[in-house]
Amino acid sequence: MAEGTGTGGSAPRGPGDVTPAELAAMDRALALARRGPAHGPNPRVGCVLLDAAGRTLGEGWHEGAGTPHAEVAAIAAARASGADLAGATAVVTLEPCAHTGRTGPCAEALVRAGVARLVYALDDPNPAAAGGAARLRAAGVDVVGGVRAEAAGDLLRVWAAAVRAGRPFVTLKLAASLDGRVAAADGSARWITSAEARAHAHALRAEVDAIAVGTGTVLADDPALTARTAEGTLAPHQPLRVVVGRRALPDGGRLAGPGGEVVHLPTHDVDEVLAALAAREVRHLLVEGGPTLAAAFLRAGRVDEVVAYVAPVLLGAGPAAVADLGVATIGAALRLAPRAVERVGPDVVVIADAPGRTPGPADHQTPADDQVRAGVRTEEDR
C-alpha cells in the first residue's frame, strides 16, 4: 500500500498530508508497539495521541490478549494526566478495531474521546476486527492510512501472515553440519552446532506460540522443548509443546517436566495440525524436527520461513536435516529466498523465506511413524 492511501473508502491522500509531528509520533508508536510480546494471539500495536499543536497527550501499547488495546491504553494515559482529548489526533500503528472481542471497539472509544483525526499505518487484516477506519470516517473523523505502512508491516509480518492465511505462520528450524547432517552414522549428535547457536534458537523458542516435533523425536530423544535463558533457567514465556504422530507418548520423560502445555496431535496431516493450532489461536509455530516432520511441512507447502543453523563440521555420513521431499531432479529443488545471513559464534544462521508452493496429492500425509528415524533429536535438547 502506498503511503497515505488507506482503505475504507477515502480518496487517496499524499504523504504531504501528514505533518512532521505525526510522522515522528508514528515512529514513536512503532517503538512503543515493540514493547509488547512477540508471541500471543494479538498484534503488537502502539498509539500516540497528539494535540492540535503536535504535542503528545498520551501514549499506549498493547501488552497481550485480554489487556487493553493500544488506543484505549493511550486514552487512559492521557486522561490520567488530565488531558482534554477533544480535537486530538490519534496516531496508531494498526487500524483501530471496530469489534468487541476480549475488549471493546477502539473506533468507538476514539470517537467518544472526541478524537478529530486518525493517522494509522496498516489496515487490519483481521476480518473480525477491521472497519475501524470507515467507522471513524463516518463519524466525521479525518482519516489517513498507510503512514509508515512498511515498517508496521515488518513489525507485524508473522501475525499478519497468520491472520491472512487463517493458520499459524510456520518457521522451520534446522541445525546441521556443513554437509547438511543432523547426526553421525551411529546416531550420535552432541553437539553439532555451537552453544551460541543453541542460545539463539532458545531465544526464537521464547518468541513463538508453539513448538512442534514428531513422535519419533520424542521417543528417540526425550526432548524438553522448553525455552531457556542463557543461564539455563526457563524463559518467562513457554510455548505450547506439540507432538505430531500416531504413536503413544511415553509416560514421564522430560515432556512431563516444567514447560508449556503438551499437546499430542495423533495425525500425519499437516493441515490438521495447523487447524488444531489455529483453533487455539497459535499465530507462530516453530517446527523443529525431526527430518520427517520437516519434510512433511515442506511437502505440504506449509513452511513460511526457514531458520537454518549451519556448523563448520563435516560428517560425511548420517541422516540429513530434511527427509525426502520428492525432488527427483534439480529443476524441482525447493529454492528459498534468503532474508538474512548472520554469524552466531562459529556457526552461521541463514533466515530464508519459503515461497508458497502448491502441494501434490502425495504431499499431505507424513510418512508412517515407523519410518521416522531415531537419532534426530532437536539440537537444543540434547
Catalytic residue positions, numbered? 71
Shortest distance, CB of residue 2 to ligand AOF, whole angstroms? 22
| CA–CA gap between residue 10 and residue 18 (Å, rounded) | 15
The item of ligand AOF, Zn ion, none sharing an interface with residue 124, based on CB under 5 to 8 Å by kind, is ligand AOF
| CA–CA gap between residue 23 and residue 195 (Å, rounded) | 42
Site membership for ligand AOF, residue 94 (CB under 6 A): yes
| CA–CA gap between residue 30 and residue 47 (Å, rounded) | 8
Site membership for ligand AOF, residue 176 (CB under 6 A): no
Site membership for ligand AOF, residue 234 (CB under 6 A): no
Site membership for ligand AOF, residue 306 (CB under 6 A): no
Shortest distance, CB of residue 85 to Zn ion, whole angstroms? 16
Site membership for ligand AOF, residue 211 (CB under 6 A): no
Q: Which stretch binds ligand AOF (CB under 6 A): 48-56, 94-102, 232-240, 260-268?
A: 94-102
Residue 311 grid coordinates: 556448523
| CA–CA gap between residue 84 and residue 104 (Å, rounded) | 21
Site membership for ligand AOF, residue 65 (CB under 6 A): yes
Residue 377 CB-half CA count within 13 A: 20
Nearer to Zn ion, 130 or 224 (CB): 130
Q: Contact, 240 vs 278, CB < 8 A?
A: no
Site for ligand AOF in 98-127 (CB under 6 A): 101-103, 106, 124, 126
Please identify which residue in 49, 129, 265, 286 interacts with ligand AOF, judged by CB under 6 A: 129
Q: Where are the beta strands (DSSP E) in 35-87?
A: 46-50, 56-61
Nearer to Zn ion, 106 or 170 (CB): 106
Q: Is 374 exposed, middle or buried (0-12, 13-18, 19+ CB in 10 A)?
A: middle
Residue 170 grid coordinates: 510456520
Shortest distance, CB of residue 42 to Zn ion, whole angstroms? 9
Q: Contact, 48 vs 91, CB < 8 A?
A: yes
Q: Are strands 240-244 and 210-214 parallel, antiparallel or unpaired?
A: parallel
Site membership for ligand AOF, residue 62 (CB under 6 A): yes
The residues that touch ligand AOF, with contacts defined as CB under 6 A, are 42-43, 45, 62, 65, 69-70, 94, 97, 101-103, 106, 124, 126, 129
